[in-house]
Amino acid sequence: MIKVDDETIIRTIEEKDLETMHNWNTADFCGNYQPFEFESKQSLLKKYNENGFCSNELQILLIEINSKPSGLVYIKFIREGIADIGIVLSGDIRKKGLGTIITSATVNFLFSNYNICRIQADTDINNIPAQKVLERAGFEKEGILKKYRYHHGNYSDSVLYSIIR
């Protein structure tokens, strides 16, 4: 568990969270900049039963604010020393500065607990709020990934950011 502040924690997913995750499986929750694909409760349960969404390659963690599930943190271990992160927040907590706080806490956790020297993240080129979150959390813009994301029927460019220990 990562204690972000007195109200916010980031923790592993428990079986009781699968219903919430399934309910979040909507285009509205994913927003304009995330790919969306339907996923059944059975599929979520099967993946959960494999490793609880915590493997050496990928970890999906739950953000809780005042004991309420409020989003997800994705950590993908690309190779030795490099991780890629992503954060999705529920709509009711966006635009309150929490994205930066949660991103910073995730970075601090990774640098403190793993042999990581580089953490990267990418976001849709039009997702200015996410770019600001990354910049406020200390990430530096590295470049543009052309036609990197496919969502809502179109390919779009992404901006690649990183923070180096």
Q: DSSP string covering 92-136, please?
A: GGTTSSHHHHHHHHHHHHHHHHS--SEEEEEEETT-HHHHHHHHH
> Per the domain annotation, does 137 fall within a domain?
no
> Per the domain annotation, does 71 fall within a domain?
yes
pLDDT at 100: 95
Alpha-carbon torsion 116, 124, 58, 56, what sign? negative
What CA–CA distance (Å, rounded) separates 129 from 122? Answer: 12
- Residue 115 CA to its chain's centroid (Å): 20
> Per the domain annotation, does 122 fall within a domain?
no
Q: How far is CA 147 from CA 48, 123, 124, in A?
A: 31, 12, 10
Digit-by-digit pLDDT tens for the chain (165 residues) are 899 999 999 999 999 999 998 888 766 665 666 665 667 888 889 999 999 999 999 999 999 999 999 999 999 999 999 999 999 888 777 778 899 999 999 999 999 999 999 999 999 999 999 999 999 999 999 999 999 988 778 899 999 999 999
> Per the domain annotation, does 13 fall within a domain?
yes
pLDDT at 31: 63
Domain range for residue 95? Answer: 2-117
How many domains would you assign to the chain?
Answer: 1
> Per the domain annotation, does 74 fall within a domain?
yes
| 76 phi/psi in degrees, rounded to 5 | -110, 125
What CA–CA distance (Å, rounded) separates 116 from 77? Answer: 9
- Residue 54 CA to its chain's centroid (Å): 14
Q: Quick one: tokens of 78?
A: 């690309």
Q: Give pLDDT tens digits for 141-164.
A: 999 999 998 877 889 999 999 999
> Per the domain annotation, does 52 fall within a domain?
yes
Q: Give pLDDT tens digits for 22-42.
A: 888 766 665 666 665 667 888
pLDDT at 121: 98
CATH number at residue 48: 3.40.630.30
> Per the domain annotation, does 128 fall within a domain?
no
Q: Are 99 and 65 a contacting pair, CB within 8 Å?
A: no
Which helix (H) or strand (E) covers residue 158, if one does? Answer: strand 154-164
The residue written with tokens 């039963």 in the block is 49
> Per the domain annotation, does 47 fall within a domain?
yes
